[in-house]
Structure 1
Amino acid sequence: MKIIALLNELESILHEGTHVPFSSRVMVNTEEALEIIQEIMHSLPDEIKQAQWIKEERKKILLEAQKESEKILNDAESKIRSMVDENQITQSAYLEAQEIRKKAEEISREIRKSTNDYADSILKNLQMQIKELSETIEDNRKQLKGK
């Protein structure tokens, strides 16, 4: 395999390099080492390049999925808040409707009572007038009989 041969060549360049006194460093021909590294890069199988691309795409997909899940969660929370608010509005409207109905029934009772009192007053006056008229008629009849 070409890559192994190039790696062996790079290794021998490092071993054959000049050692810097009093250190573990080695001086090598940089151009030669870089050329070998470039050849190794070009010789890498497509599967390794694809694996790198897949790794990067996976990262992008995970980030997009994370963003999408956060958006879905935020939308769900917003919907829940909206539903809670709607429920509270509905309950408030229901309670207000009950109060309005109670007031309407109370007003209706008062109107009915006032109407009954008024009708009773008229009937009482009418009854008194009829009684007076009846007494007048009775007196008139007695006067007619007495003559």
Structure 2
Amino acid sequence: MEILTILETLEDVVEKSVNVPVVGKCLIDKEEILEIIKEIRLKLPDDIKQAKWVKEERQRILLEAQKEANNIIRDAESKISSLVDEHEITKKAYEQANEIISNAQKNAREIRLGTREYADSILNKLEEILADTINVVQTNREELK
């Protein structure tokens, strides 16, 4: 992430600043710090856009999985109605249809769970990165005060 690199640069600038004895403060180049903060502001929207994309992608995958499950169920129901003509065939058709519906529902659940886990892991990672970034910025702001 570019923001982390920029924050490391900010950290380096603060660490390399001249210490003022007795007061426990340091002198920093105001222009350099402001330039680094400007870079952070420019890069932050990219991370926010990425989080939005992850959210939209998760929703798209969930909708796609639901459509696929509905298509499988519709196909199974269609197959059931075509086998209704004869008794023995009807009995087997109901068994197969129930099995197909059960499998379709199981597959749909698995797809939804996998999609949610994937989206959650992406969002969790992004949340960790943003939390780290916020902590570094807050720490640096506290040090600047």
TM over 0.5: no
User: What's the TM-score bracket when you normalise by the shorter of the two chains?
Assistant: 0.3 to 0.5
TM-score for both structures, normalised by structure 2 = 0.40
Q: Report the TM-score, using the length of structure 1 for normalisation.
A: 0.40
For CA contacts below 8 A with separation 6 or more, give which structure has more relative contact order: 2
Tell which structure's C-alpha radius of gyration is larger: 1
